[in-house]
Structure 1
Amino acid sequence: MTSATHQAVSANGRRLILFGAFDRHNFGDLLLARCAAAGGRDEVVFTGLAARDLRAVDGFRTEALADAIATFGSEEADFVHVGGELLTTTAWEAAVMLQQTVDTSRFVALHDRNAEARAAWARSVLGTARRMPYVVARDELPAGWRTHFCAVGGVALDALTTAERNEVIGALRSASTLDVRDRSTLDALRRAGLTPGLRPDPATSTPKLLGATIRQRGHNRTITALRTRMRSWIAVQLAAAWGDDATLDCVALLLNSAAAARDAGIVLFRAGLAPWHDDLDTLRRLADRLGARYPLVIFDSPRVLDICALLASASAYVGTSLHGWIVANAFGIPSRCLVRSPSDKAARYTDTWCEVPRQWRMPDDEPLFPQQISG
Structure 2
Amino acid sequence: MKDLIIYGAFDRYNYGDNLMPLLFELYLNRSYSHLLDEYHIKFAAINKSDLSRYGCLKTEKFTSVVKSANRGSVIVIIGGEVVGSTKESLLLHSFENPLIYKIVARLKWDYPKIYNIVSRVLFHNVAPYPYMPCIKDIPNIFNTVGGRFVGEKNTENQMYRSLKNSLFISTRDKRTQGSMKSFVEARIAPDSVFIISSLISDEFLCSKIQSELISLKNEQYAVFQCSPLKIQEDHQAISQAIKLIYEKFGTKVVLLPIGYASGHDDFDILSEIHELLPNETRLLYQLTVWEIMYVIKQSSIFYGTSLHGIITAMAFSVPHFAINPSIEKLKAFIEDWTIAPFNKAIKLNEVKKTLYEAYDEDELKSNSTRLSELVNEHYTSLFSKL
Q: State the TM bucket, normalised to the shorter chain.
A: 0.7 to 0.9
| Number of the residue aligned with 1:181 | 172
| Number of the residue aligned with 1:32 | 20
Task: Report the residue type matching 1:336 in the other structure.
Answer: F
**Contact in 2 for aligned 1:273/1:279 (Cα 8 Å):** yes
After superposition, give the CA deviation of every residue in 1:348-372 in whole Å (9 maximum; x if it has no partner).
0010112424243215446224112
In the TM superposition, residue 45 of structure 1 has moved relative to its aligned partner by 0.6
| Number of the residue aligned with 2:345 | 360
Inter-CA distance 110–289: structure 2 relative to 1 (3 Å threshold): closer
Task: Report the residue type matching 1:18 in the other structure.
Answer: I
Give runs of aligned pairs for residues 1-375 of structure 1, distance below 5 A.
14-38=2-26, 39-40=28-29, 41=33, 44-72=41-69, 74-102=70-98, 103-110=100-107, 112-137=109-134, 141-143=135-137, 145-154=138-147, 156-157=148-149, 166-190=157-181, 192-211=182-201, 212-217=203-208, 220-224=210-214, 226=216, 231-242=219-230, 246-290=233-277, 292=279, 294=280, 296-341=281-326, 344-358=328-342, 359-365=344-350, 367-369=353-355, 370-372=357-359, 374=361, 375=364
Inter-CA distance 101–340: structure 2 relative to 1 (3 Å threshold): farther
| CA distance, structure 1, for counterparts of residue 115 and residue 262 of structure 2 | 16
> Which shifted more, 359-368 or 173-182?
359-368
Number of residue equivalences: 348
Q: Cα RMSD (Å) of the superposition?
A: 2.8
**Runs of 4+ displaced beyond 6 Å:** 160-163
In the TM superposition, residue 111 of structure 1 has moved relative to its aligned partner by 5.5
Task: Report the residue type matching 2:297 in the other structure.
Answer: A
In the TM superposition, residue 129 of structure 1 has moved relative to its aligned partner by 4.9
Task: Report the residue type matching 1:223 in the other structure.
Answer: L
In the TM superposition, residue 157 of structure 1 has moved relative to its aligned partner by 4.3
TM-score (norm 1): 0.83
> Which shifted more, 281-290 or 169-178?
281-290
In the TM superposition, residue 170 of structure 1 has moved relative to its aligned partner by 2.9
**Contact in 2 for aligned 1:58/1:305 (Cα 8 Å):** yes
**Contact in 2 for aligned 1:249/1:289 (Cα 8 Å):** no
1:45 partner SS = strand
Inter-CA distance 313–216: structure 2 relative to 1 (3 Å threshold): farther
**Contact in 1 for aligned 2:341/2:359 (Cα 8 Å):** no
Inter-CA distance 88–315: structure 2 relative to 1 (3 Å threshold): same
1:122 partner SS = helix
| CA distance, structure 2, for counterparts of residue 22 and residue 171 of structure 1 | 20
In the TM superposition, residue 90 of structure 1 has moved relative to its aligned partner by 1.7
Structure 2, unmatched stretches of 5+, are: 365-386
| Number of the residue aligned with 2:382 | none
Task: Report the residue type matching 2:125 in the other structure.
Answer: T
Task: Report the residue type matching 1:93 in the other structure.
Answer: S
In the TM superposition, residue 50 of structure 1 has moved relative to its aligned partner by 0.8
1:88 partner SS = coil
| CA distance, structure 1, for counterparts of residue 82 and residue 97 of structure 2 | 21
Task: Report the residue type matching 1:356 in the other structure.
Answer: A
In the TM superposition, residue 225 of structure 1 has moved relative to its aligned partner by 6.0
Task: Report the residue type matching 2:195 in the other structure.
Answer: S
